[in-house]
């Protein structure tokens, strides 16, 4: 609790209230405009009650500064607003309470922001300090107003915390869902890569076991060496199959069909420009899945659009480009994890991928996959 109190009172805080808003600049202008109106109102109230050439610039700076800070630091805005209430009591000693209409419009948004952003401990300390300040700034003989004022302030703070807690719970839910989707996609990649690796391991087994028949006058030591290598390769294949069983979901059957590659891309898009160069099977599988997912997204989100597919080797990279034009309205659907899955596949090979809208209103997916020495 002491550490939380120090954080509330002393430590710097850079928690921004409107950081996740889509139209951030518009929101910032609206907040600053609102703060300007409240600052003018508070200053005008002071001028009407006290001397015109008095301390109204100080009140104006406190109110306006609170809303400026609100865009960058919620606790900083609350500290300044709370100090402003104390200053208001000192400048308006004759008033029965500092919480007039303008002060409510000033302090409540700041208090709600603190409740929405911060944890329960911070909100508790802020509530206690706010209650103490509200009690100390009440004029003499107005105890009947003090408790309702404090109760209303704490209720508003609790309301802000409730909304903030709900938003944080939704964020955690979406984050966990995205993590689960990523794990599912990685398991799928691992299952598909297993077939490619198993094929290579099978080739090792075959060559080791047939070496004594293909190589004449092979020494006995070499025969034993090939036999041991073949046995080790078979054991590795068995271990991989067991690992694959762990990655496979309950009730999911093993896929016995060969994994697709570059040669199968034209089955997805008849006019695809696909290189004739040989690339590693794993790279070919990744290219196929990228094209498949990109075309699926185009059909779902831009139905009826024209699509173009290019797969070519440039230097030591296989470049995959899938572009679609403007189509009809999106049909919706999909889990929203297609692009994530593409990036996961490209990352396996140490490649890079970009995806985004084109100048003509379409969409383009571009991936570069290292192929090394072919």
Taking CA 306 as the corner, what is the angle to CA 261 and CA 324, rounded to the nearest 5 degrees? 70
pLDDT digits (tens, 9 = 90+) for 200-220: 777 888 888 888 888 888 888
First to last CA, the chain: 63
Q: Is the pLDDT of residue 141 over 60?
A: no
SS3 277: coil
pLDDT at 11: 47
SS3 91: helix
Task: Tell me the pLDDT band of 247, cut-offs 50, 70 and 90.
Answer: low
Distance CA 305, CA 325 (A): 5
What kind of architecture, by CATH, is found in domain 262-370? Answer: 2-Layer Sandwich (3.30)
The number of residues making up the chain comes to 374
Q: What is the 3-state secondary structure (H, E, C) of 108-133?
A: HHHHHHHHHHCCHHHHHHHHHHHHHH
pLDDT at 17: 55
| Residue 213 burial class via C-beta count within 10 angstroms: exposed 0-12, middle 13-18, buried 19 and up | exposed
Show Cβ contacts of residue 185 under 8 Å, excluding neighbours closer than 6 positions.
337, 340, 341, 344
Contact indicator for 226, 240 with CB cutoff of 8 Å: no
Distance CA 179, CA 181 (A): 5
Query: Model pTM greater than 0.85?
Result: no
Which residue would you say has higher pLDDT here, 51 or 279?
Answer: 279
């Amino acid at each position: 609790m002491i550490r939380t109190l120090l954080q509330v009172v002393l430590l710097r805080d850079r928690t921004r209230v409107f950081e996740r808003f889509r139209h951030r600049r518009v929101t910032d202008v609206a907040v600053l405009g609102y703060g300007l109106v409240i600052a003018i109102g508070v200053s005008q109230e002071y001028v009407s009650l006290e001397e015109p050439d008095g301390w109204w610039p100080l009140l104006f700076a406190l109110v306006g500064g609170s809303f400026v800070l609100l865009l960058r630091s919620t606790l900083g805005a609350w500290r300044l607003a709370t100090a402003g209430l104390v200053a208001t009591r000192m400048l308006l000693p004759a008033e029965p309470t500092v919480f007039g209409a303008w002060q409510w419009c000033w302090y409540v948004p700041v208090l709600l922001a603190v409740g929405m952003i911060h944890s329960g401990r911070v909100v508790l300390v802020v509530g206690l300090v706010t209650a103490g300040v509200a009690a100390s700034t009440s004029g003499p003989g107005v105890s009947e107003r003090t408790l309702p004022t404090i109760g209303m302030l704490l209720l508003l703070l609790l309301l802000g915390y409730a909304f903030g807690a709900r938003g944080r719970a939704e964020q955690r839910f979406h984050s966990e869902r995205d993590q689960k989707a990523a794990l599912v996609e990685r398991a799928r990649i691992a299952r598909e890569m297993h077939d490619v690796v198993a094929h290579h391991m099978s080739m090792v087994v075959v060559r080791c076991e047939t070496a004594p028949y293909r190589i004449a006058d092979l020494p006995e030591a070499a025969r034993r060496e090939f036999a041991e290598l073949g046995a080790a390769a078979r054991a590795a294949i068995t271990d991989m199959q067991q690992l694959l069983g762990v990655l496979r979901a309950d009730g999911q059957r093993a896929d016995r069909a060969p994994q697709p590659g570059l040669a199968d891309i034209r089955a997805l898009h008849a006019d695809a420009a696909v290189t004739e160069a040989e690339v590693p099977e794993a790279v070919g599988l990744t290219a196929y899945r990228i094209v498949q997912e990109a075309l699926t997204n185009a059909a779902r989100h831009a139905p009826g659009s024209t699509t173009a597919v290019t797969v070519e080797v440039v230097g030591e990279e296989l470049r995959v480009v899938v572009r679609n034009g403007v189509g009809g309205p999106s049909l919706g659907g999909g889990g929203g994890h297609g692009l994530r899955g593409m990036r996961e596949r490209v990352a396996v090979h140490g490649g890079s991928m970009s995806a985004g809208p084109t100048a003509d209103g379409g969409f383009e997916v571009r991936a570069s996959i290292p192929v090394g020495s072919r």
